[in-house]
Amino acid sequence: MISDPDILAAYHAEGRGILYRYRRHRGAWQPHLEAAKQVILEAVAACPGRESVAVLGSGALLDVPLADLLAGFRRVVLVDVAHPWRVRLRAALTPRLTLLDADLTGLGGRPSPGMEPPSPPDLPAVQTADLVISLNLMSQLAYVPVSQLERMGQTEEQTDAFAAGLVRAHLDWLRRLPGRVCLVTDVKRIVLDPKGGVIGEIDPLYGLSLPAGGTEWSWDIAPIGEMAPDYAVRHRVRGYSDLPKG
């Protein structure tokens, strides 16, 4: 749980930004959302335990097949640093649906210049879950902490190293969990010109190599005009219905 009001406000703003962008580009986002849900449903179908499922980075539930999770498990736990009010209301009205406020970076607040990336928090609801779903979260973990470090004067090399550590810690943590793990994450960000030509590519995982396998698809997260009139951004996303253990 984050007690720093400024940091918490930054996470809420990030969540609102995602929701507003979805509302502007529902059609462009829909194939990605359906592909993510399909990977989750494959994980649910193959999961032997049916007691609980934990969704990490549940957000506004855009990519969460919530009805299927409630039908498949006795308890559904949504884990996020800043649950939207609509999700809080839904949880209050839905038996067997639990919200867990948690900063999955392990920071619990504002980072300090020069600090080492922390380990993810110890969350019993995640450790004991039959299925854990990390959903379009891993590459986003560093966004707010890196923004804070940049304001403190940290160099790009320093912030990249910190971000890489957060991403690595999350993957290692997922692979150590005792239950089945489903991972959905973007693995490449592609900048396109108005004709669809590639202008540049960005590695959102900071050099981290993922296990072989999984399913990949494209997500047109920012069509022309969303971020700028002369370029668009497309993500390549990979989903594992059963992330290999480390």
- Residues 23-77: tens digit of each pLDDT: 999 999 999 999 999 999 999 999 999 999 999 999 999 999 999 999 999 999 9
Entry pTM = 0.95
Residue with tokens 């067997």: 96
* Within-domain flag for 243: no
Q: Residues 76-99: pLDDT tens digits?
A: 999 999 999 999 999 999 999 999
28 close to 69: Cβ distance less than 8 angstroms: no
8-43: b (≥16 Cβ within 10 Å) or e = bebbeebbeebeebbeebeebbeebbebbbebbbbb
* Within-domain flag for 153: yes
What one-character DSSP code corresponds to residue 92? H
82 close to 59: Cβ distance less than 8 angstroms: no
Q: What is the pLDDT of residue 222?
A: 97
Q: What is the pLDDT of residue 1?
A: 66
Report the 10 Å Cβ neighbour count for 110: 15
* Within-domain flag for 212: no
Give which of 110, 168, 117, 159 is closest to 139, Cα–Cα: 168
Q: Residues 13-17: what's their mean pLDDT? A: 94
Q: What is the pLDDT of residue 111?
A: 86
Give which of 147, 145, 150, 189 is closest to 170, Cα–Cα: 145
Is it the case that residue 246 has pLDDT exceeding 80?
no
190 close to 236: Cβ distance less than 8 angstroms: yes
Q: Residues 164-216: pLDDT tens digits?
A: 999 999 999 999 999 999 999 999 999 999 999 999 999 999 999 999 999 99
CATH of the domain at 139: 3.40.50
* Within-domain flag for 175: yes
* Within-domain flag for 203: no
Choose the weakest-confidence range: 91-105, 108-122, 210-224. Answer: 108-122
Half-sphere exposure of 241 (CA within 13 A, CB side): 14
Residue with tokens 């480390």: 246
* Within-domain flag for 144: yes
105 close to 118: Cβ distance less than 8 angstroms: yes
Q: Residue 66 belongs to what domain range?
A: 5-186
Kindly report the average pLDDT of the chain as a whole number: 95
Which residues are bridge partners to 78 per DSSP?
A: 55, 99
Is it the case that residue 4 has pLDDT exceeding 90?
no
* Within-domain flag for 205: no
Counting the structural domains of the chain, the total is 1
Is it the case that residue 158 has pLDDT exceeding 90?
yes
* Within-domain flag for 181: yes
Q: Which of 55-64, 140-149, 152-161 has the highest mean pLDDT?
A: 55-64
